[in-house]
A and B are shown apart, each in its own frame.
Chain A
Amino acid sequence: MLKSNSRWVGLSFRLGAILLALLFTAIVILVSNANPIAVFSNIINGAFGSVDNIANVFVAWVPLLVVTSGLLVTFAAGLWNIGIEGQITLGAIFTTFVLRSLQNSSVSPTIILILGILAGIVGGALWASLAGALKIYGGVSEIFGGLGLNFVATAITLWLIFGPWKRPGIGSMSGTQPFPDTLFMPVIGELRLSIWTIIIGVAGIILVYVLLNGTYFGLRLKAVGKNMRSAFLLGIPTNRYMMLSFLICGAFAGIAGALQVEAVYHRLTPSISSGYGFLGLLVAMLVNYQAIWVAPVALFFAILNIGSIQLPIVLQLDSSLGGVLQEALVLIVIMMEGVRRRLVKKE
């Protein structure tokens, strides 16, 4: 009786949080001398106004979905994988390396693309394993280790773009020389969207759902995350499980990086991760680490991202307004969760 009751309470708190976030954003918009209704309708229009726009929403959805899937695994183990951004970047770098090395060979493009994704997995997992080793053997919090590794990953990217992999003539912030279009992932019609990326993204979240909810591995991972001492005494090799969670999350990040290279940018750019790693952390927190909610909430975030792109053109507002709404949402939902716990405790 109490259970179902608290579930309804939880849901109403969440809905209340969304309303509050919209209100807060509306105030921000009013302060910047614009009409909130116009802004919100523009965001909706920007996301759904044309087939192109809708396709672009899904282009943004896939990396967010993949990254959040991976993050659920580290969160299950009680780890804050802030280094996710660097892991995406390293995945993209490894993928770029494979594509560059094989683009003039006689290997079939399909094989090259698959090898590229595998390389991305290796790159992401490798970078995550560094954060894991720092945490487990060096006693460095994964938050600080990950943050540091993010900077290193960015530095490596810039060095490659302006150094060894620079365009013929002069290096440019727009990235490396684009690959020939035989190495583009096949897209749907004239759109930027590739059906393969969607298949990979959906398969990924299903895999994580099954892993966390149906396997011994997932349950042990949760045990490690909830109480490491008890888990250890129960006989779970806690260090190994933490490392595995980093490797899995890194692999997912690497896939996201690989897809950014193969299906979106077709080259390595300085900010190849596009902030999807950090956004994924927000999505994971917003869904309270429940895999079942990741796909819809990630889609909502993608809509806000794509929808706000045209704000500067139409309303002379900065496109970061979409970000304001996203972050306000997460903060307020988390805050409401704290308020709810407080109220429930008092009863």
Chain B
Amino acid sequence: MDIELKNIHKWFGKVHANDGINLKLPGGTIQGILGENGAGKSTLMKILSGFIQADEGDILLDGKAVKITDPASSLRLGIGMLHQDPLDFPPMKVIDDFLIGQAGGLIPNRKQALQEIMALEQQFGFDIDPETYVDMLTVGERQQLEILRLLWLGAKALILDEPTTGISSSQRIKLFETLRKLAAQGMTVIFVSHKLEEVEGLCQRVAVFRRGQLVGEVKPPYVTSELVKLMFGKAVTLESRVYARSGEAALTLSGLSIEDVRLKISNVSLAAQYGEVIGLAGMEGSGQRQFLRTLGGLMRPVDGKILLGDRDLTGKPYHFFLDLGISYVPAARLEEGLISGLTLTEHFILADQSKGFMIDKNKAQQITKDRISSFTIKGTPASQIEELSGGNQQRALLALCRDPVKLLLLEHPTRGLDIESAIWIWGKLKERCKLSTTIFFISSDLEELLQYSDRILVFFGGKVSQPIESVETSVEQLGQLIGGKGF
């Protein structure tokens, strides 16, 4: 099936997530969609699969304009989407999972469905027992199940959103084999990814997205450095950097290993210095968040040691970390940093370590006024926190950190902020560094990483690079590492 997207626009509030996208996807090919997080590729795929509607623009299937209003209508037109996290029903049987999505009919025909499923499985060499329960399957098998299900429901175009995030390498080889087979049968395969290697190896065409726009279409042979340049834009000349590192080890990690259901980070050793800023690079879900949470005492490492100065923190509870002057500043501000419904003053009272019983309202007012002016928060002491803009919420969050703070852990400290606020926030952070605070921060903005870090760690699928001196690296090199090349 040929798919054509014409002048697609989508706004989320002020954010222009898709800015006039024109793209032709011919049948029988594997089309790669490449771009950073937030580049607009998922938005476009959601529009195509009916999860959201475009504000402007047309979708043409085999030359005919169609209206896609919801996922069911998209599937009726033959477009099936495979989501990053499998959308299935773990407590149900595989066969029931199939029958749920079937349109019409009062009594499902299990026998016929069973035969058809088995036939499809044979065709692609899958081996899933239709009578088993979905939660018994691995993520890779659930993906196969989802592909089968979409084919069975008549999909002629298949969208795969970051499909290799949670599967093993042998399952990935199998998946790619299947996709090639499908394309050979005339299916349109759309492969959304940020992993350069996979896109280069699999796709017959690649469309690159950056900041909501389609910035280039590339055909093989691919030149990695060109793809990286398209993805991240050209390197901007940077202002003078500030360094405050002291040479003396503040935080020492030895043989640190972290595990959760998704990935495994093993054997990280590092000595971060007083006043040093360490940037954590990598696509979302590559392990940098788990790493940062472990440093903050929110996750326990399975092996290795964390030392602050010469105090062993390994296995201690979060509040112990906090009392030693380790602050964790989450990215989801209103979900896990601030408390909707409470005022700025109330937040500062909460963060204040007062031992008394009754609240000293005068003192609280004073602290709040001081913080509002020193962090230039646009708001009043009685403002409810959710009424503030994102930038001001971020300022408030930083103003809540205890003083003195020895180790500051930040998830995306400037995400969603305008440049002015971002520069201001980094000014504040660098002030802290001069007072010997050590900072670790996660960012998906390569320029931010290069500009403000002393050293950078790159994460890829749970693997951690050696610390890279930021003065000795470049957007290109980081881009390649983030895409998994050069580990």
Binding site for B on A (CB under 8 A): 214-217, 219-220, 222-223, 226-227, 229-237
Contacts and interface: CB of A to CB of B under 8 A. Distances in A.
A233 B298 CA distance: 9
A230 B338 contact: yes
B356 interface: yes
Interface string B390-434: 000000000010000000000000000000000000000000000
Contacts of B318: 232
Contact of B350 (A214, A215, A229, A234): A234
Nearest to A220: B350
Contacts of B346: 219, 222-223
B342 A236 contact: no
B16 interface: no
The 10 closest A-B pairs by CB, nearest first: A229-B336, A227-B339, A230-B339, A226-B341, A235-B322, A226-B339, A223-B339, A230-B336, A234-B350, A223-B350
A290 to B, nearest CB: 14
Given A215-B357, A216-B359, 19 more contacts: A215-B358, A216-B354, A216-B356, A219-B342, A219-B350, A219-B359, A222-B346, A223-B342, A226-B341, A227-B340, A229-B335, A229-B336, A230-B335, A230-B336, A230-B337, A230-B338, A234-B350, A235-B322, A235-B323
A227 B346 CA distance: 14
B349 interface: yes
A231 B342 CA distance: 11
Contacts of A223: 339, 342, 346, 350
Which applies to chain A's interface (DSSP): helix, strand, loop or mixed? helix
A234 B359 contact: no
A217 B357 contact: yes
B351 interface: yes
Contacts of A226: 339-342
Contacts of A234: 350-351, 400
A233 B334 CA distance: 12
A233 B357 contact: no
Contacts of B339: 223, 226-227, 230-231
Contacts of A231: 339, 350
Contacts, number: 56
A222 B384 CA distance: 14
A120 to B, nearest CB: 25
A233 B359 contact: no
Contacts of B340: 226-227
Nearest to A218: B359
B452 interface: no
A233 B330 contact: yes
B319 interface: yes
B365 to A, nearest CB: 14
Nearest to B318: A232
Interface string B338-371: 1111100010011100101111000000000000
A215 B359 contact: yes
A307 B322 CA distance: 56
Contacts of A229: 335-336
Interface in B320-335: 322-323, 328, 330, 335
Which applies to chain B's interface (DSSP): helix, strand, loop or mixed? mixed
A213 to B, nearest CB: 9
Nearest to B351: A234
Interface hub of A216, A223, A229, A237 (most chain B Cβ within 10 A):
A216
Contacts of A236: 350
A63 to B, nearest CB: 28
Contacts of B322: 235
A75 to B, nearest CB: 13
A236 to B, nearest CB: 7
B361 to A, nearest CB: 8
Contacts of A220: 350
Contacts of B349: 216, 219
Contacts of B337: 230, 233
A236 B357 CA distance: 15
A108 B357 CA distance: 36
A10 B359 CA distance: 29
B358 A233 contact: no
6 contacts: A215-B357, A223-B342, A227-B339, A230-B339, A231-B339, A234-B400
A210 to B, nearest CB: 8
Given A223-B339, A227-B340, A230-B337, A235 B358 contact: no
Contact of A214 (B323, B342, B358): B358
A24 to B, nearest CB: 31
A223 B336 CA distance: 11
Contacts of B354: 216
B360 to A, nearest CB: 10
A222 B342 contact: yes
Interface in B151-199: none
A232 B400 CA distance: 14
Interface in B285-336: 318-319, 322-323, 328, 330, 335-336
Interface hub of A215, A219, A226, A231 (most chain B Cβ within 10 A):
A219
A280 to B, nearest CB: 23
B319 A237 contact: yes
A220 B339 CA distance: 11
A231 to B, nearest CB: 7
Nearest to A231: B339
Contacts of A215: 357-359
Contacts of B319: 235, 237
Nearest to B329: A233
Contacts of B341: 226
Nearest to A227: B339
Contacts of A214: 358-359
B294 to A, nearest CB: 15
A232 B317 CA distance: 12
Nearest to A210: B358
Contact of A233 (B323, B328, B342, B356): B328
A216 B330 CA distance: 24
